[in-house]
Structure 1
Amino acid sequence: MTIISIMYDAHDPKLDLNLLLAFDALWREGSVTRAADGLGLTQSAMSHALRRLRQFYGDPLFVKAGPGMRPTPKAERLAPSVLSVVGTVRGELLSQAGFDPATARRSFAFCMTDMGELVFLPPIMERLRALAPRCRIRTLQVATEAVPAVLESGEADLALGSMHLVPEGLYRQELFRHPFVTLVSTRNGEVGDRMTLEQIVRMGHVTVTLSDRSEPYDRALEVELERRGIRRDVVLSTPHFLVVPLILDRFPDLVATVPRELGTVFARYDAVRVLPPPVDLPAFSLRQHWHPRVHHDEANVWLRRTIKAAFEGYPE
Structure 2
Amino acid sequence: MNDLHNAELDLNLLPVFDALIRVGNVSRAADQLAMSQSAVSHALKRLRLFFDDPLFMKTGSGMQPTPRALELRGPVLSVMGTVRTELLVREGFNAATAKRGFSLLLTDMGELIFLPRLIARLRQTAPHCTVRTLQVAMRHVQAVLESGEGDLALGSLHAVPKGLFQQQLFTRSFVTIVNRRNRWIGDTLSRDQFFAMEHIVVSLSGKLEDAYDAIVDELDGPRRIYLTTPHFLTVPMIIEENPELIATVPRELATKFAGYKSIRMVPTPMPVPPFAIRQHWHPRFHHDAANMWLRQQVKGTFDTFPE
Which TM class, normalised by the smaller chain length? 0.7 to 0.9
1:255 aligns with: 246
Residue by residue over 1:59-84, the C-alpha shift from the partner in whole angstroms, topping out at 9 and shown as x without a partner, is: 22223334843333332332232222
1:14 aligned residue (8, 24, 34): 8
Question: Could you tell me how far 1:145 is from its partner in structure 2?
Answer: 4.5
Counterpart CA distance in 2 for 1:63 and 1:270 is 48
Aligned to 1:315: 306
Gaps of 5+ in 2: none
Q: Distance in 1 between matches of 2:82 and 2:180?
A: 53
SS at match of 1:280: coil
Q: TM-score of the superposition, structure 2-length normalised?
A: 0.88
Distance 1:39 1:302 in 2: 18
Tell me the number of residue pairs that the alignment of Structure 1 and Structure 2 aligns: 306
For the 8 Å contact 2:22–2:148, the answer to whether it is kept is no
Percent identical: 55
Residues 209 and 216 in structure 1, CA contact (< 8 A), matched pair in contact too: yes
Q: State the distance in 2 between where 1:169 and 1:12 align.
A: 36
**CA positional deviation for 1:224:** 3.7
Note if contact 1:84-1:153 (Cα within 8 Å) is conserved in structure 2.
Answer: no
Question: 3-state SS of the aligned residue for 2:252?
Answer: helix
**C-alpha contact (below 8 Å) 1:110/1:139 kept by paired residues:** yes
Inter-partner Cα distance in structure 2 for 1:291 and 1:212: 25
Change (3 A) 1:272 1:59: farther
Q: What residue number does 2:232 align with?
A: 241
Question: In the alignment, is the contact (CA less than 8 A) between 1:10 and 1:16 conserved in 2?
Answer: no
1:183–1:255 Cα contact (<8 Å) kept? yes
Question: Is the contact made by 2:205 and 2:230 (CA closer than 8 Å) also made in structure 1?
Answer: yes
TM-score by length of 1: 0.85
Q: 2:282 aligns with which of 288, 291, 296?
A: 291
- Contact 2:169-2:303 within 8 A present in 1 as well: yes
* AA of the residue aligned to 2:256: V
Q: Once the 2 structures are TM-superposed, how far is the Cα of residue 283 of structure 1 from its aligned partner?
A: 0.7
Q: Residue 143 of structure 1 contacts residue 212 of structure 1 at CA under 8 Å; is this kept in 2?
A: no
Whether 1:114 and 2:108 are equivalent positions in the alignment is yes
The one-letter code matched in structure 1 to 2:30 is A
Deviation at 1:251, TM superposition (A): 1.0
Structure 1 counterpart of 2:152, from 153, 158, 170: 158
Q: Deviations over 1:171-227 (max 9, x none)?
A: 21111111001111344344333323233222111112332753422122223433x
Q: Are the counterparts in 1 of residues 23 and 149 from structure 2 also a CA contact under 8 Å? A: no
- Label 1:130 to 1:9 Cα distance change in 2 as closer, same or farther (>3 A): farther
Cα offset, 1:269, TM superposition: 4.5
1:109–1:157 CA contact under 8 A, matched in 2: yes
Which structure 1 residue ranges, 5 or more long, are not aligned?
A: none
Q: What residue is the counterpart of 2:203 in the other structure? A: 209
Which of 239, 258, 272 is the equivalent residue of 1:267? 258
Q: Secondary structure at the match of 1:242?
A: coil
1:129 is displaced (CA, Å) by 2.0
1:208 maps to amino acid? V
When residues 23 and 268 of structure 1 are mapped into structure 2, their CA distance, relative to the original with a 3 A threshold, is: farther
Correspondence for 2:215: 220
Give SS of 2:162's match. coil
Pick from 9, 15, 20 the counterpart of residue 26 of structure 1: 20
Inter-partner Cα distance in structure 2 for 1:101 and 1:185: 46
Runs of 4+ in 1 over 6 A off after TM superposition: 8-11
- Taking only aligned residues, the RMSD between alpha carbons, in angstroms, comes to 2.7
Mapping 1:139-218, distance limit 5 Å: 139-211=133-205, 214-218=209-213
Matched, 1:302 2:293: yes
1:122-141 paired onto structure 2 within 5 Å: 122-141=116-135
In the alignment, the residues of structure 1 paired with residue 80 and residue 206 of structure 2 have an alpha-carbon distance, to the nearest angstrom, of: 29
Q: Is the 8 A contact 1:83 1:155 kept in 2?
A: no
Q: Distance in 1 between matches of 2:135 and 2:283?
A: 21
**Aligned partner of residue 234 in structure 2, secondary structure:** helix
The one-letter code sitting in structure 2 at the alignment partner of 1:292 is P
